[in-house]
Amino acid sequence: MPKTNCAVVGCGNCTQNLNKWKTNFCDIHGCNKGVAKCVCEPPFQLLPFPTRMKSPERRIAWITKLKRVDPQNPKMLWEPNKNSRVCSMHFEPGTYVPSLNLGQSHPGSSPKTPLHKKRKPPTERVPIDTSSKKQRREKVLAPGTDSLIPSCLELLPSDVHDSDGDSSETLSAVECVQCDEMMGQLADKGDEIRTLKKGLATAERQLANRKRELCNITHQLRKKCQTVVEITYTAIEHNPDKVNFYTGLPQPSSRLFAALHKLVSPLVKRLWRGSRIWSSKVSWKSPTKKKGPQRKLSSRDELLLTLMRMRLGLMNKDVAYRMGISQTLASQIFTSWVKALHTALHHLVYMPSKESLIATKPARYTVYPDLRDIIDCSEIFIETPKDLHLQALCWSDYKHHSTIKFLISVTPTGMIAFISKLFCGRASDKAVTNLSGYYDTLEPYDQVMADKGFLIHEELAKHNCSLAIPPGKRGNAQMTPAQVASNKRIANVRIIVEQVIRRLKCYKILKNIMPLTLLPHADNILMVCAALCNLQPPINK
């Protein structure tokens, strides 16, 4: 409970005094004075001011009797609040308006300290010597100055001053000797002071040089600690292993990177800044002189940034830090080059002719002479969408995560012959195959190999094609030896598609959780990764 004082000026009664009284021991009743069974009256009571609603006249009378001035407006009387109180020692018995000891101390109350104290008298000011240091030093060292150098008479003992003056010659000789000694001492002290000043100046210069060197070293150390090593193509150009690690291109990586840059760079005329910017009225003719600010990265570094992000699965902020650019510019560069790479490389994913397949088919596939390709579906993890309908469409019961699904077709040598657009993770393998346009790549009498979930016999029959899948188990009956042998034979051959999917997901952007911001470009990214995989040596020879 906050402390409440009496509103009368000079009165020290407050709630703290009442609380002290309540804790005292009562000799009459044998208990504390504040308990219920003690009927002793307190020394005073704190009475609240009358309210404006019930008794406004009595409230005005109280305020007028107190004669307190408002501290903010001295011309107005003080206005009490709901916590203001007046102790009962200012009231006469039977009255309702305070009239006793208003404004001065009274018995039983501790007077407060006065608000205004007397000001101390000002101290005397000593005149300031405005002369320079050189003038004061010359005044001290001047031979005829008597005010600063003590006279010889003052330095003499008292018995010499008290003599009669008969020995004036002795006195003058003593004075001269002592003056000469003092002047010599002052000269020596002056030389010592000048020597010390020179040494101090030299030490200050050395200290300043050391401080400057320390600041330079600290600045260099901070710069080394804060600077992120920027990766550029020039730094890794002569190291094929680094080029292969950052880009995923096979050996010779440097030569292949140069050829890829030569093929794709003409297609990147300006950075992609969103679908709203594109217009049919925009002229795409490159001007003779480039307008706008200078490019932050070279064309090769921009291609390296794009391949690094797909190969290592880096976030946009990480790539921006590595390249020393802003996140917005890194996103624009990646989107523009992905579009250009898709335009230039999507021709590498194609279905070869029957003649070329027969000529390059490995020996273990001779059991299936009409086998054209092996198909399978794979899924890519994505961030969970906020929309509940999209969450339901993208949820995969197999992966227990939000995913997107695609169909991949692989030749017996391990080449990616077809890759579909991306579908929601809830779609079945059969639905993805039917909607992907895969059947248009087949020719009559082709044989397709797939897993058990691809129940597409009727769809392939419409195109005069056959399907080779492992035999399924019927009820509780076990498979026959022929079915077991067929299942083993198909599994040994079909494993090639799993190996190709693993090679495809060596590009970590397809293996990690893909951000929702990349979904508009996910089809292009998937096609570019598939095309880059086809540049690598075949798995089966």
Give the model confidence (pLDDT) of 189-199 as tens digits.
888 888 888 89
Which range among 75-89, 197-211, 289-303 shows the weakest confidence by mean pLDDT? 289-303
Which range among 51-60, 381-390, 433-442, 523-532 shows the weakest confidence by mean pLDDT? 51-60
Average pLDDT over residues 439-461: 90
Residue 362 DSSP code: -
Give the model confidence (pLDDT) of 474-517 as tens digits.
666 777 888 888 888 888 888 899 999 999 999 999 999 999 99
Sequence-separated (6 or more) residues with CB below 8 Å from residue 464: 444, 445
Give the model confidence (pLDDT) of 255-274 as tens digits.
899 999 999 999 887 665 55
Residue 342, pLDDT > 90, answer yes
Residue 156, pLDDT > 60, answer no
Average pLDDT, the chain: 81
Cα–Cα distance for residue pair 506/312, rounded to 1 Å: 8
Scanning 24-132, the segments in alpha helix (DSSP H) are: 56-66
Q: Which residues pair with 409 in a beta bridge?
A: 375, 418
Residue 35's pLDDT is what?
Answer: 61
For 390-404, the DSSP string reads: HHHHHEETTTTEEEE
Torsion of CA 321, 326, 332, 337, to 10 degrees: -40
Cα–Cα distance for residue pair 485/491, rounded to 1 Å: 10
**202-219: buried (b, 16+ CB within 10 Å) or exposed (e) per residue?**
eeeeeeeeeeeeeeeeee
Q: Is there a contact between 427 and 402 (Cβ–Cβ < 8 Å)?
A: no
Which range among 152-166, 169-183, 382-396 shows the weakest confidence by mean pLDDT? 152-166
What token pair was written down for 43? Answer: 């020394």
Cα–Cα distance for residue pair 153/410, rounded to 1 Å: 121
What token pair was written down for 522? Answer: 């996910």
Scanning 395-521, the segments in alpha helix (DSSP H) are: 429-435, 457-462, 481-504, 508-511
Higher local confidence (pLDDT), 105 or 334: 334
Residue 523, pLDDT > 90, answer yes
Which range among 23-27, 107-111, 227-231, 484-488 shows the weakest confidence by mean pLDDT? 107-111
Q: Is there a contact between 500 and 414 (Cβ–Cβ < 8 Å)?
A: yes
Cα–Cα distance for residue pair 354/373, rounded to 1 Å: 11
Give the model confidence (pLDDT) of 158-170 as tens digits.
554 454 554 455 5
Cα–Cα distance for residue pair 280/541, rounded to 1 Å: 48
Domain 352-473+480-534 - what CATH class?
Answer: alpha beta
Residue 183's pLDDT is what?
Answer: 77
Cα–Cα distance for residue pair 360/71, rounded to 1 Å: 104
Residue 31 DSSP code: E
Residue 279, pLDDT > 50, answer no
Residue 232's pLDDT is what?
Answer: 84
Higher local confidence (pLDDT), 156 or 337: 337
Instruction: Work out the pLDDT band at 27, boundaries 50, 70, 90.
Output: low
- The domain ranges of the chain are 1-113, 152-225, 233-275+297-347, 352-473+480-534
Cα–Cα distance for residue pair 539/260, rounded to 1 Å: 23
Q: Is there a contact between 516 and 383 (Cβ–Cβ < 8 Å)?
A: yes
Q: Is there a contact between 129 and 140 (Cβ–Cβ < 8 Å)?
A: no
Residue 104's pLDDT is what?
Answer: 44
Average pLDDT over residues 30-42: 67
Do the strands 401-410 and 416-419 form a parallel or antiparallel pair, or are they unpaired?
A: antiparallel
Q: Is there a contact between 379 and 425 (Cβ–Cβ < 8 Å)?
A: yes
Residue 272's pLDDT is what?
Answer: 55
Residue 294's pLDDT is what?
Answer: 73
Cβ of 458: how many Cβ atoms within 10 Å?
8
Residue in the block written with tokens 């003080």: 78
Specify the DSSP element, H or E, that contains 388. Answer: helix 388-394
Of 541, 536, 519, give the one whose Cα is nearest residue 348.
536
Give the model confidence (pLDDT) of 343-359 as tens digits.
999 999 999 998 888 88
Residue 393's pLDDT is what?
Answer: 93
Residue 405 DSSP code: E
Q: Which residues pair with 87 in a beta bridge?
A: 46
For 363-378, the DSSP string reads: GGGTT-TTEEEEEEEE
